[in-house]
């Protein structure tokens, strides 16, 4: 009895999986370049497929939506950033506001390398057609966890009110961080300029979470 008699597939399963992974990586690489040059709204699935050298159907076989592709692009890109944050933050001293300033400064410096790609990530947060599996800006847990950790340590140190709603503070900081990137468009601001603006906003927010006398 030969393989044909057994009904074996012509292509072994591991080979199909390898081909699927290769297609996935081509889509991610193509999308990364297009989101960085054309923005989220300016990039289409058809363009991603053309840039990757595959059919539109092959893209949808691997990903459910453009937002899901962007989520994969950003997840892969942000891993080294959060590795750096994990390395740096335990050694940062000062008040909670100062520690937040340092943490966001690291983010601004990192994102400055491909700032339009990150702005695409922000833009996707307002795409109401995204499937539940997509993770645009605001739905990625990494940044929220880092901010919350700084605030929790601030409560232990006594410079963050124990009764404050930590999630509200996290949301305010996330909003300020995203809104600051408008200056890239309106003023062609660089990372240094963005950091200065964010530093001031953190100071204002810190006045709200500081213990009351």
Mean pLDDT in residue range 39-53:
93
Residue 59 near residue 49, CB atoms below 8 Å: yes
Instruction: List CB contacts of 165: < 8 A, sequence separation 6 or more.
Output: none
Domain 8-63 shares a fold with domain 65-213: no
- Classify residue 161 by burial, with Cβ atoms within 10 Å: 0-12, 13-18, 19+: middle
pLDDT (tens digit, 9 = 90+) per residue, 53-74?
999 999 998 898 898 999 889 8
Q: How confident is the model at residue 13 (pLDDT cuts 50, 70, 90)?
A: low
In the predicted structure, residue 81 carries a pLDDT above the cut 90: no
Reference 172, options 149, 130, 126, 203; nearest CA is 203
Q: Spell out the domain ranges in the chain.
A: 8-63, 65-213
- Cα separation of 70 and 140, whole Å? 12
pLDDT of residue 101: 97
Mean pLDDT in residue range 171-187:
97
Mean pLDDT in residue range 26-43:
92
More confident residue, 151 or 143: 151
CATH of 8-63, one of 3.40.190.10, 1.10.10.60, 3.40.50.261, 2.30.30.170: 1.10.10.60
pLDDT of residue 133: 78
Reference 21, options 53, 70, 46, 58; nearest CA is 58
Q: Which of 3-12, 106-115, 148-157 has the lowest mean pLDDT?
A: 3-12
> Could you say which architecture CATH assigns to the domain 65-213?
Orthogonal Bundle (1.10)
Q: Supply the DSSP string of 146-159, one letter for each residue.
A: HHHHHHHHHHHHTS
pLDDT of residue 21: 87
Residue 118 near residue 108, CB atoms below 8 Å: no
Mean pLDDT in residue range 159-172:
97
- Classify residue 155 by burial, with Cβ atoms within 10 Å: 0-12, 13-18, 19+: middle
More confident residue, 165 or 18: 165
Tokens of 144: 């929220």
């Amino acid at each position: 009895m030969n393989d044909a008699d057994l009904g074996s597939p012509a292509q072994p399963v591991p080979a199909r999986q390898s081909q699927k992974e290769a297609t996935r990586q081509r889509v991610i690489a193509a999308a990364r370049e297009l989101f960085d040059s054309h923005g989220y709204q300016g990039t289409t699935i058809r363009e991603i497929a053309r840039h990757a050298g595959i059919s539109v159907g092959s893209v949808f076989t691997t990903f459910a939506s453009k937002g899901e592709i962007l989520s994969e692009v950003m997840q892969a890109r942000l891993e080294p950033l959060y590795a750096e944050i994990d390395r740096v933050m335990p050694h940062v001293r000062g008040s909670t506001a100062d520690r937040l300033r340092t943490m966001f400064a690291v983010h601004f410096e990192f994102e400055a390398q491909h700032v339009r790609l990150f702005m695409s990530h922000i833009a996707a947060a307002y795409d109401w057609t995204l499937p539940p599996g997509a993770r645009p800006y605001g739905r990625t847990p990494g940044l929220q966890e880092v901010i919350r950790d700084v605030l929790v340590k601030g409560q232990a140190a006594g410079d963050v009110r124990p009764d404050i709603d930590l999630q509200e503070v996290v949301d305010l900081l996330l909003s300020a961080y995203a809104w600051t990137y408008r200056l890239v468009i309106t003023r062609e601001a660089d990372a240094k300029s963005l950091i200065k603006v964010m530093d001031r906003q953190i100071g204002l927010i810190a006045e709200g979470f500081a213990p009351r006398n």
